[in-house]
A and B are shown apart, each in its own frame.
Chain A
Amino acid sequence: MTKRFLLVVFAFALVVAACTSSDDTTTTTAGAASTTTTTTEAPAAATTTTAAEAVAVCPSEAGGGTVVIGTTDAIASLDTADAYAVRDWEVLKNFGEPLLKWVPGAADELQLGIAESMPVASEDGLTWTVTLRDGLLFGDGTPVTAQIVASQLTRLLTISETGPNQVGLTLGNPYVDSIEAVDDRTVQFNLPAPIAFFQQLLASASYIPANPAIFPEGELNIFPEPPLTGTGPWIVTEIVPEESMTLEPNPNYYGDQPNLDRVIVRQFADPQSMALAVQSGEIDVAWRILGAELATELGEVDGLNSVVVPSGPIRYLIINHVLEPTNDPNVRKAIASVIDRDELSDVIFGGAVDPLFSQVPPGFLGANEAFEDLYGSPDLDAARAFLEASGYSEDNKLQLPVWYPPEHYGATTADGVLLIVQQLEATGMIDVSVQAQEWGTYVGAATSGEDYAVSVLGWFFDFPDPENYLQPFIENGGIGTMVTAKEDGSITPGVSPELLTLLTASRLETDLDARAAILDELQKVYADEVVTVPLWIEPEFIVYRDGICGDASLPNPQTLNIGGTMEFVYSVLNTDGS
């Protein structure tokens, strides 16, 4: 059975909010943390029985042994100063640990990692200091000092740019000027400008101090030879490229030892073979990326649990604000008025994906439903009115090219685009030409903002903050939206400069309520400008065999404690000993 417990409860929260008072929406969804609390403490919900079944209970003493996890993601880079992919970060966070870390299973609740106490900001917000735990060791027994942490984290700022992913340019240099050791246990971060989300940033994989014995100061080591040791609870003992990776507990880890003796991660070419493997018992857990359909099928198999993870990448339409015909605000608004997200969800994913009504997904600070409030789509009459205002009619149809990548996001993309085209053409005033382009070519054309007026893309956060869902589409030319002109960052004529003002304000505001209010306003302007058209949240599923369980004392044990941050923490895993 597919357990959709979390989404259900979340939807209830929305329903309750809608029923009680429409003004109340902001507070209900204000912080992701509050949502988490609701989900974990809502036994009264109609799905209690389902939820109880979902939590596989492992006896506290029994267990251990080996768990084999399947994935379809390849390893791309294992150097913290370069890695920039979900699977890579998952591995990094299991054999390494940053200063702060997310509570497994929670949406965005931070706890201490290798730091002894929460980081402290200076008055002006430009310096942050963190103290390390006493007696920290890397997995190979080398002590972890503040000097090592500072110099290893500095790699992100200095040598990251020599790597293929150059993650430093995204997560390092824009936010941090320099990192230094104050004494043996204190590290200081110097920032160019105060930011509201510095602690979230510190919990990302890029801020894991890597072992200098493997990752030397002056150069990247993207594909290091095992054993890989670090600050985390595991040691990577074996890597067979494209096939498997073995992890064993790190005896020098400061915290509790993992329950398991060994974790093996096996890589599959495609979701089908992974699905068959979990069915035949070759693997115990199938994690990333199973489609909604496969996960539903597997949920019906005896002995398997298929659970949706409360997070996932979003899909949206890039609308180019410079090219014809989408440089016309009426055209953009017509597109926004036409999209029927419920139909997309029902037809393409059998209702397994959640419609998305703002670029910031629900659960994040300040997330609202700006597109729903503004356009109430599908509203064909409104769409026709917008089109008529710009002189289009049934005889003079709007010619709209829509581009999509046929293979990259899976075959559902084509189904979705086909449906969107039918929705657009239902106005009788739009003539869509659908164009498929293979990913390698597509993505450059879509993001450069020079070729495609309307195109489909996906997005998943680098760090869980609304900033990461808004800034990339607004600043620096946007991702193909061209809302701001590329070089000088000036706003494209016809677009409200308020976008940039609000974005900057939201970044600097550290008071949560005030920031939520700014973000709410920002999303409204965003929807009014139709910077992008959010479509849906693609669900991620985890499928595991009976006898595998997570930590029942943490949130979301039914997903093996994978929460809103989508992190899979292997040390919470246990077996029932069978």
Chain B
Amino acid sequence: MPDPVLLDAPPEEQWQIDLERVGLLRRLLNGRKWYGVDWWMVVISSIMVVFFIVIAFFPGLLAPHDPLEQVGPRFLPPGDKPDAEVLLLRVDSPIESLADLAGQGRVPTAVVQGAPSSEDIRSEAERITQELAATGSDDRIRFRILRLETLEEVLAAIQAGDVELGAGSSQQLEPLMDAYPDVVIAGPISGEKGGKTFLLGTNQIGQDVLSRLSWGARIALIIGFTASIFSLVLGVPLGLFAGFTGGKIDRGLTLVMDSLYAFPGLILAIAIAAVLGPSIVNVIVAIAVLYIPTYYRIVRGQTLSTKESLHVEAATSIGATKTSILRRYIFPLVIPSVAIIFSVNIADAILTGAALSFLGLGLPPTTPDWGIDLARGQEFIQRAWWLITFPGIAVMLVVLAFTMLGEGLTEIFNPKLRKQ
């Protein structure tokens, strides 16, 4: 966004005078002519930023599910349809369907470890139990689940009569059934979670990745914006003040800022998280504190050298007031650096939040947060590429959007740079 102060700067060339005359909308639309690629950078990144802000406000727009709810099988690849699960029985079994198991105590049941069968069979049993309860029966279906390595083992266990029933996916069963003549497929287990596909897949506990990403945008932007604004509001005035006044106050402030600065940021964040417990407010405070000295030092340094430049000295000699020197000469020169830092700051705050989550600190791990998803997905990097890819891309896009916006704006509004 153009800073009003900048527009106060004396117009120098015809095109800038033209620029002053046109309205904001025309200026935006025709900007491409004057600024070229940088205009495109600003436009594209603005669209991205707006997109992320909209998602942050209304995560439900993109998220089809509750980010915390288990909505599908674990590790379902993006766009894949889960296999249909079927019930397996011995040929001579008196059981015909799950409903026959009501009130029989814990029925030994074989499933493949890690397959969705066990989940499905229990949720189906739960449904039947509730139907029975509606008819006044308080019989329940219970299983003693035996988790085996392969589907062959499941079939063998049923064949041998070691278990009463089993479950498995129909596609995988097809080629195997011939080898186990005593085992029959008794029919599908409908299970409420079956059959759905997920655009970006599901994670290690069957949550929808896309829904988690949408809700994660909210957390990321809250952290980024709040922390950056907080440190900008404190850091810039302090830097200007110290650089401009100089003397003892400057030295004292610089000492404090340097001390603060010497404390490596991540460690400070970890310490704060340890003192206050994991929460989003603590993460914001920790990150905001890290950046105050960054603004301070850059702004102070530039103020210091600008103060001694020729035109400031000239202005002072003709009796310009301190405020007007600060406003007309120093502040505009400081803007580019501040703009760079601010854009970097938002991006960095998001990255620092992710880093804290990576170290297992900062946010409570039940939060739908990109950093946490990345840290978790890391465990499954070779098995489920989508878990680390999508949150990683999300972080990169947000960071890119803010950095590019900052870059483009710097190019456009830096008074030195636009002198072509």
Contact = CB atoms under 8 A, between A and B. Distances in A.
Same complex:
yes
B80 interface: no
A263 B379 CA distance: 28
Contact of A293 (B277, B364, B383): B383
B337 interface: no
B375 interface: yes
A297 interface: yes
Contacts of B156: 46
Contact of A406 (B111, B114, B278, B380): B278
A2 interface: yes
B386 to A, nearest CB: 15
A4 B113 contact: yes
B274 A438 contact: yes
A246 B278 CA distance: 39
Given A18-B106, A293-B383, A436-B278, A351 B153 contact: no
Contacts of A291: 379
Nearest to A298: B382
Nearest to A418: B366
Contacts of A8: 146, 148-149, 153
A3 B364 CA distance: 34
Nearest to B143: A342
B113 A407 contact: no
Contact of A272 (B146, B147, B205, B381): B381
A350 B361 contact: no
A297 B278 contact: no
Interface in A341-372: 342-343, 345-348, 350-352, 372
A18 B108 contact: yes
Contacts of A126: none
Interface in B135-158: 138, 140, 142-150, 153, 156-157
Q: Say whether chain B's binding surface is mostly helix, strand, loop, or mixed.
A: loop
A14 interface: yes
Interface residues of A, number: 52
Given A1-B149, A415-B205, A436-B366, A350 B106 contact: no
Contacts of B142: 376
A11 B106 CA distance: 14
Interface string B348-382: 00000000000111001110000000011011111
B113 A351 contact: yes
A296 interface: yes
Nearest to B145: A342
B204 interface: yes
B366 A351 contact: no
Interface string A1-39: 111100110011011001100000000000000000000
Nearest to B133: A381
Contacts of B360: 406-407, 411
Interface in A487-538: none
Contact of B144 (A15, A347, A379, A407): A15
Contacts of A418: 68, 205, 366
B266 to A, nearest CB: 15
A551 B366 CA distance: 44
A415 B68 CA distance: 10
B274 to A, nearest CB: 5
B162 A294 contact: no
Contacts of A343: 119, 122
Among the interface residues B113, B143, B366, which one has the most CB atoms of the partner chain A within 10 A? Answer: B113
B365 A436 contact: yes
A542 B364 CA distance: 30
A417 B379 contact: no
Contacts of B68: 418
Interface in A420-443: 422, 434-438, 440-441
Contact of B380 (A46, A297, A381): A297
A50 interface: yes
A414 interface: yes
Contact of A350 (B114, B146, B162): B114
A221 interface: no
Contacts of B381: 272
- Interface range on chain B (Cβ under 8 Å from partner): 35 or more
Interface in B90-137: 106, 108, 111, 113-115, 118-119, 122, 133
Contact of B361 (A1, A50, A407): A407
B147 A351 contact: yes
A471 interface: no
Contacts of A2: 113, 149
A438 B278 contact: yes
Contacts of A415: 204-205
A411 B376 contact: yes
Contacts of B163: 15
Contacts of B69: 422
Contacts of B396: none
Interface string A265-293: 00000011000000000000000000101
Nearest to A50: B149
Contacts of B204: 293, 415
A418 B69 CA distance: 9
A24 B331 CA distance: 86
Contact of A381 (B70, B138, B366): B138
B301 interface: no
Contact of B119 (A347, A352, A437, A438): A347
B160 interface: yes
Interface in A142-159: none
A342 B144 CA distance: 9
A7 B149 CA distance: 11
B273 interface: yes
A347 B114 CA distance: 8
B382 A297 contact: yes
Given A46-B156, A407-B360, A350 B113 contact: yes
B74 interface: yes
B368 to A, nearest CB: 11
B206 interface: yes
Nearest to B359: A407
A411 B365 contact: yes
A434 B108 contact: no
A14 B144 contact: yes
Contacts of A351: 111, 113-115, 118, 145, 147
B365 A440 contact: no
A440 to B, nearest CB: 7
A296 B114 contact: yes
Interface string A328-345: 000000000000001101
A379 B274 CA distance: 38
A18 B142 CA distance: 13
B118 A436 contact: no
Contacts of A437: 277-278
21 contacts: A4-B147, A4-B148, A46-B148, A272-B381, A294-B379, A297-B380, A343-B122, A345-B147, A346-B119, A346-B122, A347-B205, A352-B114, A406-B361, A415-B205, A418-B366, A422-B69, A434-B366, A435-B277, A435-B364, A438-B273, A438-B361
> Top 8 closest A-B pairs, CB basis?
A407-B360, A414-B365, A350-B114, A436-B364, A351-B113, A46-B156, A351-B147, A406-B365
Given A271-B379, A379-B140, A438-B277, 20 more contacts: A1-B149, A3-B149, A4-B148, A15-B146, A15-B163, A18-B106, A46-B148, A46-B157, A46-B160, A50-B149, A293-B380, A343-B119, A343-B122, A407-B361, A411-B379, A415-B204, A418-B68, A435-B277, A436-B278, A437-B278
